[in-house]
Structure 1
Amino acid sequence: MMKTKTLLTTALLMTGLAHAGGGSSVPSGNTIAAIVANDPNFSTLLTAVQAAGLTSTLNSAGPYTVFAPTNAAFAKIPAAQLNAVLNNREQLRALLLNHVVPGRVTAAQVQNLSSVTTAGGGTLNVMVNGGQVMIGDATVTRPNISASNGIIHVIDTVLMP
C-alpha cells in the first residue's frame, strides 16, 4: 500500500511538472492559481486543478475563498480512491469545487459562521474550538493568504463532497 502511495505521489508530482513545462502553463502574478502553482506544498492540488480544467477559473477575477489542501492532506486519501477521482474529471471537479466558496471570506469572518456554501453547491460546517477553525473535517493550518482574486486558507484534510 505504501509503495502504491509513493508511486502515485511521484506520478502526480511528475504530471504537475509536465504541466508546468516551459512555464507557459504556470500562472504568474498573485492570483489563487499562481500562489498554488508556485508553492511546492500544493503540487498535488495543482495537478488536480489542471486535470479538472479549473486553472483559468482560479486565475480569473473572482473573488474566491479557497480551502486549499496540502500534499499531506491528499496523502491521507487511500491511493485507489485518489486515483479513481483523479481519473474522473466530473468527480474531480466536484471535489475541487467543494473547496471553493464564492466571495472573499477572511479567517475572522469564517469564525463567525456556522456553515459556508461551496461553489459546487454543497455546505461545509464551520466550527471554532479554542481558536482552532474547522471546515468540515479539516483544520485550517494557515489562514488568510491574500491573493489578487481572493483568499486562501490552508487545510490539513481534503473535503470530500
Structure 2
Amino acid sequence: MKTHHKYTYIKYIVIVLIAVCTQHVQAQQPTSLLQHVIQERPLLADLLTKAGLAPMLSADAPVTLLAPPEAELESIMQEQPERLRAILSNHILSGTYKEGDMKDGATLKTVGGTGITICRKTDHTLVNGVRIQQPDQQLKNGMLHGISGLIQM
C-alpha cells in the first residue's frame, strides 16, 4: 500500500472512531428528570404537565422527585389542575437528596411549602409514612426516588 493511501486510510479510521466515541458519550449523558419521567412514567408526566410542574423538572435547578406508583396516580387522574399541583408539588424537594442524605427525624420542605418528615428504619426510609422503594436514581438535574404511595398532607 502506498504511504499516501496508508495515511488516508488511517485518517478515515480515526474519524470513524471519533464519531463512534462521540455517539457513545452522548448516549451516556444522563437525561433530565422530565425526560426520564416522560420515557418511563407517562402517566406521571401527564399529571405533572397538567399541574404545571413539568418546567421545574426540566430546569437546571436541582430537584428531588418522590414518584408515586402508577396505580396510586390513577386515583388522582380526574383532579383539577390546581388540586393536582397541590398534591404533586408535595412530592418535589428543592435540591438533590439521596436516600442516605435524609436524616431520621428531619423535616424537609417541599416546593408546595409543606414539611415532610423522614423516618429511617434499619433497611428502608419512610417519607411521611410512605416507603422509598426505588431510591437514588441520579439524573441530570436531580434525583428520583420511587415511593410506595402518595404522600398525604
Give TM-score, length-normalised by structure 2.
0.74
Does the alignment pair 1:109 with 2:101?
A: yes
SS of the aligned residue for 1:36 comes to helix
Query: Residue 31 of structure 1 contacts residue 149 of structure 1 at CA under 8 Å; is this kept in 2?
Result: yes
Does residue 67 in structure 1 map to residue 66 in structure 2?
A: yes
* Cα distance in 2, alignment partners of residues 67 and 102 from structure 1: 12
- CA–CA distance in structure 2, aligned partners of residues 37 and 113 of structure 1: 33
**1:151 alignment partner, one of 137, 140, 143:** 143
Counterpart position of 2:128: 136
Contact 1:137-1:157 at 8 Å conserved across structures: no
Question: 1:89 deviation in Å?
Answer: 1.2
Match of 2:152 in 1: 160
Count the aligned residue pairs: 125
The percentage of aligned residue pairs carrying the same residue is 22
TM-score w.r.t. length of structure 1? 0.71
How far is the alpha carbon of 1:112 from its aligned partner?
4.7
Q: Which runs of 5+ in 1 are unaligned?
A: 1-28
Per-residue deviation, 1:150: 0.7
Which residue pairs with 1:30 in the alignment?
31
3-state DSSP class of the match of 1:151?
Answer: strand
Rounded to whole Å, the distance in 2 between the matches of 1:55 and 1:83 is 16
User: Which amino acid in 2 is paired with 1:143?
Assistant: P
Q: Residue by residue, what CA displacement relative to the aligned partner does 1:75-111 show, whole Å, maximum 9, x if unpaired? A: 5x4xxxx2442xx111111111100110111111014
Q: In the alignment, does 2:106 pair up with 1:120?
A: no
Query: What CA RMSD, in Å, does the superposition of the two structures yield over aligned residues?
Result: 1.9
Structure 2 unpaired stretches of 5+: 1-29
**Contact 2:119 2:129 survives alignment (8 Å):** no
Do residues 53 (structure 1) and 52 (structure 2) align?
yes
